[in-house]
Amino acid sequence: MLAASRYYETTYAYRKLLISRLGTTLSPTYCYRPANDGWAALCATTDQQRELLAHIMELSDHLDDPAFAPGTAGLNPLQSKVANLIDAWVSERTREEIFHLLQGMHVPSGYLSTADELPRLAQLRERQAFSRIDHPVVGALEYPAAPFKMGETPFRKGRAPMVGEHNREIYRQWLGFGEDELARLAREGII
């Protein structure tokens, strides 16, 4: 969790600001906001990124607003004039449009994808992030593959075993049970 929350620690180390938990919003320029087709992520954390974001959104006149300041100490960023202006700008655009526009201007951004969108994303397809696996009951489905690739121990895709599928192998080869003992265990409902 420490690696996932570095914004708090680095902001404190650099500016001695303690940032309180604010849900989906750390500041109006570092937040998840609703676009017209889902949630967009704005990640402008440096002064340069905030200035670029203000320029892109035609909000440069508002750069002196405390909502554009890092950390937003003592400010509810969702109730600021800047937050309302950013929300209006974001809500008029699609997630992809915001992502490409901001990334093209070197302002970190992203968006939340839904589960049905993930297997179709070009980057995830290129990285082989999903694997098609056949299952005897549900058929062939796309499942998440390994979260990372390793050279010496590559990912082995496969389905989960059916209940009791490996009983014979385990009881005979590993535990040394004979066929009579297996038959008795099955008759008694143990396996």
Structural domains in the chain plus CATH codes = 3-111 (3.30.1540.10), 115-145 (no CATH), 165-191 (no CATH)
What's the rounded Cα separation, in Å, for the pair 83 and 76? 10
Closest CA to 121 of 95, 101, 140, 139: 95
What helix, strand, coil percent values describe the chain, rounded to 5?
40, 15, 45
> Can you give the pLDDT at residue 155?
84
Gyration radius of the chain's alpha carbons: 26
> Can you give the pLDDT at residue 154?
85
Total-model pTM: 0.64
CB 111 within 8 A of CB 105: no
| pLDDT digit string (tens) for the chain, length 191 residues | 455 556 666 667 767 777 665 555 667 777 888 999 999 999 888 889 989 999 999 999 988 887 777 655 445 555 678 888 999 999 999 999 999 999 999 999 999 998 889 888 898 899 888 889 999 988 998 888 888 888 898 888 888 899 889 988 999 999 999 999 989 988 998 88
> Can you give the pLDDT at residue 126?
92
Q: DSSP readout, 31-80?
A: EEEEETTEEEEEE--SHHHHHHHHHHTT-GGGTTSGGGSSS-TT--GGGS
> Can you give the pLDDT at residue 74?
45
What's the rounded Cα separation, in Å, for the pair 42 and 34? 11
